[in-house]
Structure 1
Amino acid sequence: MKPIYPSISLLLSLLIMSGESRAQDNVQVLDSSYTIAYTSKGVVKIYSSDKEGISNIKSIKTKGDYLALSPDGNTFAFRIYLDGGKTWSIYTMNIDGTNIERLTHAKNKWDSAPAWTPDGDKIAFAREYKDSEGVWQAEIWIMNSDGSERTQIKSLKGSNPYFTPDGKIVFSSEHKDKKSEISIADFDGSNVIHLTNNAAEEWHPDVSPDGKQIAFMSNRDGNYEIYVMNIDGSDQKRLTFNNAGNWHPSWSPDGVKIIFSSSSTDKESHIYMMNKDGSSVQKIISHGRKGIFQR
């Protein structure tokens, strides 16, 4: 299984853009107050919007993507491409773009999809590479939040780890006769349970704040769409219905909304928001990928 990730380049420095009219053209007013971090055209952006309009837009230029926010809301984990894209490494930085630290250093391996444990003490990540026989390997590792004590969870094969509030791991598991499926396991990798079971590509699970549901993307119906299911795999429902590719679902902190990125006819990726039942779909950000809510 070789997951598809959007390529975004980011540079380091901080730029406040709240007064720029062209930035305001890229967002729409929401019916509630939310703060969202996302990547757009090579820049990490953070914006807030409420019924009165945009309160601030901030851009952090750094060279990486695939943001994950720590439970205390103070630190991003993300990946950076190195060696011309041959090496991917996990980094962390403060939410204002300062204090960038490289956490993984494995050459010619793809480290991606960082995910914080509920207590913020550790970060899980996916590691993918071709072994000496040219066979693609998809592994899940875990380390302390400072990058120390990196350990492979050997019983887990796949990508896109994400933790439930009680510390279980939901992930996209590699399967011999299937492309990938959503699975759940205990923190140590034991008791793996497959939650989906078909020949589709199913990635990027995101657990609701109450731990009761999982949003994920799947092409089981021929096109990448956003789905939701209960934490035990029951009651699987399709939420999006369009001809675009829909990616990277993320729950709002109150569990009421889901945002996702979607490709459109202009071949650009934009960020949309919908209710957790799939209703009231609204485009909120133009030219954005992999949005996550901030607390």
Structure 2
Amino acid sequence: METPGLVMHGEAAPFSTALRSLINNPLYSDVRFVVGQERQEVFAHRCLLACRCNFFQRLLDTRVPSPLVLSTVPAEAFLAVMEFLYTNTVKLHRHSVLEVLTAAVEYGLEELRELCLEFVGKILDVELVCEALQVAVTFGLGPLQGRCLAFIESHSKEVLRTRGFLELSAPALLPLLRSDKLCVDECELVLAARSWARVGAAVLERPVAEVAAPVVRELRLALLAPAELSALEEQNRLEPLIPAEQIVEAWKCHALRREDTAPGTRCRRRRGTLPREHHRFLDLPFK
């Protein structure tokens, strides 16, 4: 009776080095890509891509003529994907990891996606967190979204001053404005929301109030003192941002001094809310 065979493993390093030498190498390549706005040419090998990634298997099965144009993925991110497919390793960089993560999600490369998420978790900082949050919201990456939100809650003032904050989409901004744990006062949040809406209005060529409409309902105007609310009302006349009825609701809360006139989160203090005399008529202190 023949004895069962035994798998013997050779040295991994020379094998990996040999495959790495084929990345973007025209030698024996049988497919070309033109990637990114740079329109950089990248050489690859159909059989390897097809066996490693279902996305490329389907793409290459269509027999579309070479080169294949992939204009939405930057060249650096695409080459990182190629590195992973050829060697099962990838060198990630802070400035491009979110683009690699985006490509990994779009191409269905779960292992690469997890490597990117692990790397982002290690390098998350004030300048990167809003961009990471946007990617998380766009692709439904719940754990990354939660991690970004927790970071922003602890570094609220610094994050509100970043360009990344101003470039958030409304769906990405909403979870922030709904949080009780932001370490920032409501006055600063109102100013940040106005700056965000101005940038969006300029980019989209739409009125500030229209751009702000999906998010301003989450501002807790009842937390502002009467003088602050009056100043906001005056500025709102000059540059409409907040619906008039929302300001009226805040004034009613001041006039009646009863929390049931502005129920729910609109009276609830955040972690960074500065104390004001009228707060004793609202809810319990933040816990």
TM-score range, shorter chain: under 0.3
Q: Which has the higher strand share?
A: 1
Structure 2 length normalisation: TM-score?
Answer: 0.24
Select the structure that is richer in helix: 2
Alignment TM-score, normalising by the size of structure 1: 0.23
User: Which structure has more RCO (C-alpha within 8 Å, separation ≥ 6)?
Assistant: 1
